[in-house]
Amino acid sequence: MPAEVVGSIDLRELAQEVLGRALRAGATDAEAVVYEGEEFSSLVRLGEVETLKQSGSRAVGLRVFLGQRVASTSSSDFSADGIDRLVSGALDLARITSEDPFAGLPDESAFGEVPGGSEAQQLYFDDVHRMPPAQRIEIARRVEAAALAYDTRIQNSKGGDFDTATSHKVLTNSRGFTGEYRRSYCGFSAAPIAQDSAGHMQGNYWYSSARTTQLLEDPEHIGRIAAQRALRHLGARKVPTQQVPVVFSPEIARSLIGSIFSAAEGDAIYRNASMFNGMLGQRVAGDNITVVDDGTLVFPHRLADGRSLPAGGFGTSPFDGEGLPTRRTVLVERGILKNYVTNTYTGRKLGIPSTGNASRGLAGNPGTGSGNFFLEPGGVTPEQIIASVPNGLYVTEVMGFGVNLVTGDYSQGAAGLWIENGELAYPVEEITIAGNLKDIYRNISAVGNDLHFRGSSAVPTLRVEGMTIAGA
Amino acid sequence: MASPGPDHKRYFIDRLGISERLMERCLGEALSAGGEYADLYFESVTSTSLGVDEGLVKTASQGISVGCGVRVLSGERTGFAYTDDLAPERLVKAARTAALIASGPAKQLEQGFHSTDAPSLYPVAGATSDAQISEKLKLIQRADRAARAYDSRITQVRASFNDELRRILVAASDGTYASDTQPLARLNVAVIASDGTSTARGSSGGGGRVALDFFEGPKSPEHFAREAARTAMLQLGAAEAPAGEMEVVLGPGWPGVLLHEAVGHGLEADFNRKKTSAFAGLIGQQVASSKVTVVDNGTMPNRRGSLNVDDEGTPTQENVLIENGILKGYLTDKMSARLMGTRSTGSGRRESYQQITMPRMTNTYMLSGEDAPEDILKSVKRGLYAVNFGGGQVDITSGKFVFSASEAYLIEDGQVTRPVKGATLVGNGPEALKYVSMVGNDLALDEGIGTCGKAGQSVPVGVGMPTIKLDRMTVGGTGR
């Protein structure tokens, strides 16, 4: 039973209707966004279906300008009455905001979509809807079963799941831009729990996700990896406080390098609240570091039968949250900070054009968001990187909120595997890793060749010198 | 306990056209394929967000969300669907979708609904959502001015006021018929300080389920502004935080986030029923020093984590989690209570009608002990005194938790000597509180800023603690 589209409202018409009403009510400029989404999720635990969820929702957001004043409203009420309140509420709010010389919609010349629009970007596959629920549940059951069958030390589980989601978004504004796109998502995961003879438990997970069911990985393969990831932490211990090389696994390297995007956001820069302030054109990392954000990537997947099946990345869209075409922006090139990332407002504050990185929720002013964000891979394998470390930490988990983008101070709870003589020797936990990001980016001594997009950002294995590990 | 509150159901019946007959019909549909229990959760939320930034009112937004979630429980199974359209045919369709989880003969409903009597822990008329926008704006403009006036090195100020009014109505096949109107407000100030050589951030905020005049008392905009500015200025001159295992003293109030992470989540019944928590099977055992008593209490007037009834219509209560070091109980919702053979502790919460109820915390705190805070500091040879924190996180299964200090000092020979930079503290849930050797007589609750995340769902919570000393804990700095 495929999920049906909620109601029969034409989203494009609705967006333009809301826009028109705002202008007639006195707005000097306006922008409307209409969003419709459907979701299905199933969770199987210890072989039994535990949760099934299926629903659709929709909402409309409006941003209005009265000269240089701006305000916004959002609602899930699509009745005529609801739309009236949406419009009058936005205008009432705009009257109490301040005139801001930098506020306003983008200039008309900036609007547009990437060539071919969302069609060319391969963001939507309707097989995500067509897959019968029984088949989705079966995949959730298989991925969990594979994890449970892997080793006798795995007897418990948080379950296996299979989720799908589709969304349809329309953006229109009073300067003549109207665009829309649909996106699809499907994914499954297993979260097994391993337990040792002393009763200590370690949970972990692994997953596969894609825009189409045709590109999902084998459930048994994913279940086995999830099991291995839980098992390898059994018997973890603390290590003494010391300074050693730290090897970041790709999942953790992703968050470490992700801070480069956050620190380069125009919002932090114009406030003088970033460790990258005044660093444009300066060295912020070693020669081996090139960091790119690209909202246009389409990956050339190939199926087992040889057919080619291109699909857009999870960070791909034809236009950004303000209707500007997405693009490729190099943030750091061979260690030199080349670009900040901006939306229209933060660009104006800095006197530069928007980089097409506006993100827009239903309400509020646009923020800044990444497209597909990655670090260019190096030439060594992850195995070679680990083999190069005589004594150090391979970090597989970090926890906490100890990243300060103003100062660069970095202190996170960590777990992983200790490296002895180039080999993964034993698991460690209840430790912290700390340093300063400004030093960490300069002290990356090896960059792996293992760049794989599993979400909207990807970073290969990294080796960092001179971090402090606090433990026993 | 206060007298029974006003009837919050009228809003749904009069304004949104939801009748008891319609609710009975939907519950009937929900149980048409069997199952033990079904509930309908109607929710209407109006939220406002105002922000002053660089001295300008840059942000003003308002959101309205209305919908209904339908849940069917069958053994350990949950079927769930929701709709943002409250037309009868949409509600019936959602009920039929949720019903797909069960497979058996239809279950008969209990005869009629029984209205739940609940206290009035917070204002309804007079909540901040009734106040003029201009009055709220004045508050953040005052905060903006006060932060700038604090020191010429305060270079950036952002002050925001967020509030919402959430109305809920719960109707369930067990006869539960409950409703509530829940105001929530929070004022926040974030600043950047710069002295030419270094830059630092500071933030502060607070609120609760309160009327606007709350911010005219000691928790004024000026109070939060000065706190944010003071923290940032302090960080300008902070030294590297130490690294390694040492004695740690935690100040009163928000450092109670330690309890939330170290024990609170681990005691939520869903994890324990499934034996995925490091605390599973430890009831009756020593999990903390005998000086430690921890409760979760949803009945505190005006607190951010308080609720008259939880999201299953069960009145909240005070639940003892740890008494004199012994693990006493778990936090349950209806499903985990039924499966574990106990009663719901009034801990069933959900972020919105689009999400499924889970056992959650409300206000979690440690009771006062007998030590004077100054004696606690004097007893430390060399250690860390942490008085404010960013946030925390826990791995329920392994028990490992972290929380990140945002204001901390070195203690040397019993004296608080100098400020150090923020650092992450790590520990193991079922072990960490065994090292509590002193408990202060100065229990304080936090200012009303906590938001707890679990399985992608955020709910407002409170935490609290007196000053305590832990004989050992790992501090994740870079210094000596």
Residues of chain A with CATH 3.30.2290.10: 11-231
ipTM of the complex: 0.94
**% of chain A with per-residue pLDDT over 70:** 98
**C-beta neighbour count of B246 within 10 angstroms:** 20
- Alpha-carbon distance of A335 to A338, in angstroms, equals 9
CB of B477 within 8 Å of a chain A CB? The answer is yes
**Which pLDDT value is given to residue A115?**
87
**Which pLDDT value is given to residue B110?**
67
pLDDT band at residue B123, thresholds of 50, 70 and 90? confident
Q: Which residue has the tokens 């399985």?
A: B455
Q: In B, which residues are within 8 Å of A7 by CB distance?
A: 85
Q: Which of residues 3-32 of A touch B (CB under 8 A)?
A: 6-7
The per-residue pLDDT for range A91-132, each reduced to its tens digit, is 999 999 999 999 999 999 999 888 888 889 999 999 998 999
**Which pLDDT value is given to residue B3?**
40
pLDDT band at residue B5, thresholds of 50, 70 and 90? low
B154-172 and B37-53 strand pairing: antiparallel
The per-residue pLDDT for range B47-74, each reduced to its tens digit, is 999 999 999 999 999 999 999 999 999 9
**Which pLDDT value is given to residue B92?**
96
Name the residue among B56, B80, B397 with its Cβ closest to that of A53: B80
Is the confidence at residue A260, as pLDDT, over 70?
yes
Is the confidence at residue A458, as pLDDT, over 70?
yes
CB of A452 within 8 Å of a chain B CB? The answer is no
CB of B60 within 8 Å of a chain A CB? The answer is yes
Q: In A, which residues are within 8 Å of B57 by CB distance?
A: 96-98
The per-residue pLDDT for range B408-436, each reduced to its tens digit, is 999 999 999 999 998 899 999 999 999 99
The per-residue pLDDT for range B433-454, each reduced to its tens digit, is 999 999 999 999 999 999 999 9
Which tokens belong to B270? 């869903």
Q: Which CATH class is domain A11-231?
A: alpha beta
Which tokens belong to A2? 């495929």
CB of A407 within 8 Å of a chain B CB? The answer is yes
Q: In B, which residues are within 8 Å of A86 by CB distance?
A: 64
Q: Are B265 and B259 in contact (CB under 8 A)?
A: no
The per-residue pLDDT for range B308-328, each reduced to its tens digit, is 999 999 999 999 999 999 999
**Which pLDDT value is given to residue B391?**
87
In this prediction, residues B2-17 reach a mean pLDDT of 74
Q: Which residue has the tokens 């060319």?
A: A120
In this prediction, residues A169-192 reach a mean pLDDT of 97
Residues of chain B with CATH 3.30.2290.10: 10-236
CB of A339 within 8 Å of a chain B CB? The answer is no
Is the confidence at residue B102, as pLDDT, over 90?
no
Is the confidence at residue A3, as pLDDT, over 50?
no
Residues facing residue A181 across a β-bridge: A169
Shortest Cα–Cα distance, B153 to chain A (Å): 13
- Alpha-carbon distance of A415 to A122, in angstroms, equals 38
In this prediction, residues A67-82 reach a mean pLDDT of 94
- Alpha-carbon distance of B296 to B363, in angstroms, equals 5
CB of A415 within 8 Å of a chain B CB? The answer is yes
**C-beta neighbour count of B16 within 10 angstroms:** 14
- Alpha-carbon distance of A231 to B339, in angstroms, equals 29
Q: Are A409 and A430 in contact (CB under 8 A)?
A: no
CB contact under 8 A, A156 and B276: yes
CATH of domain B10-236: 3.30.2290.10
The per-residue pLDDT for range B149-198, each reduced to its tens digit, is 999 999 999 999 999 999 999 999 999 999 999 999 999 999 999 998 99
**Which pLDDT value is given to residue B6?**
64
Is the confidence at residue A7, as pLDDT, over 70?
no
Residues facing residue A3 across a β-bridge: none
Amino acid at B299: T
CB of A93 within 8 Å of a chain B CB? The answer is yes
**% of chain B with per-residue pLDDT over 70:** 98
